[in-house]
Amino acid sequence: MANLSPSETEGSLRWRSWISRVLVESVLVVGSILLALALDEWNQDRDYQDLATLSLANFEREIQQNRLRLEDVTLFHAGLRDVLANMNASEDPVTATTIRNMLEGFQPAILVRTAWETAVATGALGYMGYDVVSGLSLTYNMQERLVTLNRSGLNDLLVGGFRGGDTELIVYTANRYMRDLTEAEQELQGVYDLVLGLIAETIGERPDSPAGAGSTMPEDTTAAADPL
C-alpha cells in the first residue's frame, strides 16, 4: 500500500472493510439459519416425545382396563373349566341341556385396542423404545388370538356339539375350549403385567394395575417373560 495514492489507499481500506462486513454478516445469517433449524428440530423432537409419552399413557390406561375386564371373567371360566373336566372324566351320563345351562353364564371379556390403533395412525410407535413396542405388539397380538379362540371355540360347540346332539362330543369340545381359553387368559394377564411394568419404567410412573404390575410382582410375571 506504500506505492498507492491516498485515494487508492482509502478505496482499498473501504473495500476491505466492506468485505469484512459482508463476511461477518454472512456468518451471522448462516449462524441464524443453523440455529433456527436446530431449534425447529429440537421442537419437533420434543413434540414427538410428547406424542410418545401421551400414547404410552393411553396404553397404560387401556391395558389396565382390559386386565380388569379379563380378571372379572377368568375366575368364572376357571371354575367352569374344572366342572367340565370332571364331567369329561366321569362315566355318568350328561345331557346337552345340562351343558347348555352351564354355559348360559359364560361371557368372554371384551378387550379393546383403541390405543394401539391410535398409536399406529399417529406414528407414535416410531418414537418409543424397541422393548416397549415389542411388548405392546405381543400384547395386542395375544388379545386378537384370544378373540379368535373365543369365536372358534363357540363355533365348534355350536356346530360340532349342540346341533349334532352328541353329548359326549359336547362335553369333550366344551372341556377343551375352556381349558385352552383359561390358559390363554392367564398368559395374557401375565403379559399385561409385564408391559405395564415396561410402560411405567419408560414414563417414570408406577402402574396402578390390580395385581401390582411390572416390577412390583416380578415372580408373577416371570412366566410371561419368555414370549417377549
Q: Where are the domains of the chain?
A: 51-224
pLDDT score, position 224:
35
Q: How many CA atoms lie within 13 A of 51 on its CB side?
A: 17
On the question of pLDDT at 184 being above 50, the answer is yes
The dihedral formed by the CA atoms of 13, 18, 19 and 25, expressed in degrees to the nearest 10: 150
The more confidently predicted of residues 143 and 41 is 143
pLDDT score, position 113:
93
Q: What whole-number distance in Å separates Cα of residue 222 and Cα of residue 228?
A: 11
pLDDT score, position 173:
80
Average pLDDT over residues 139-148: 93
Q: What whole-number distance in Å separates Cα of residue 149 and Cα of residue 146?
A: 5
pLDDT score, position 6:
57
Query: What does R_g of the chain's alpha carbons equal in angstroms?
Result: 33
Which three-class secondary structure state does DSSP give residue 113?
coil
**What share of the chain in percent tops pLDDT 70?**
63
pLDDT score, position 141:
94
On the question of pLDDT at 119 being above 90, the answer is yes
Residue whose C-alpha cell is 351320563: 93
Asked if residues 107 and 73 have their Cβ atoms less than 8 Å apart, the reply is: yes
Q: What whole-number distance in Å separates Cα of residue 193 and Cα of residue 196?
A: 5
Average pLDDT over residues 124-148: 92
The more confidently predicted of residues 11 and 1 is 11
On the question of pLDDT at 162 being above 90, the answer is no
Look up the pTM and report it.
0.66
The more confidently predicted of residues 127 and 227 is 127
User: How far, in whole angstroms, is CA 112 from its chain's centroid?
Assistant: 11
Q: What whole-number distance in Å separates Cα of residue 163 and Cα of residue 44?
A: 60
On the question of pLDDT at 39 being above 70, the answer is no
On the question of pLDDT at 9 being above 90, the answer is no
pLDDT band at 221 (very low <50, low <70, confident <90, very high): very low
Average pLDDT over residues 50-67: 93
Q: What whole-number distance in Å separates Cα of residue 130 and Cα of residue 149?
A: 28
pLDDT score, position 165:
59
pLDDT score, position 100:
73
On the question of pLDDT at 118 being above 90, the answer is yes
pLDDT score, position 67:
95
Nearest to 76 by CA among 146, 167, 181, 170: 181
Asked if residues 150 and 108 have their Cβ atoms less than 8 Å apart, the reply is: yes
State whether the Cα torsion 118-114-63-81 is positive or negative. Answer: negative
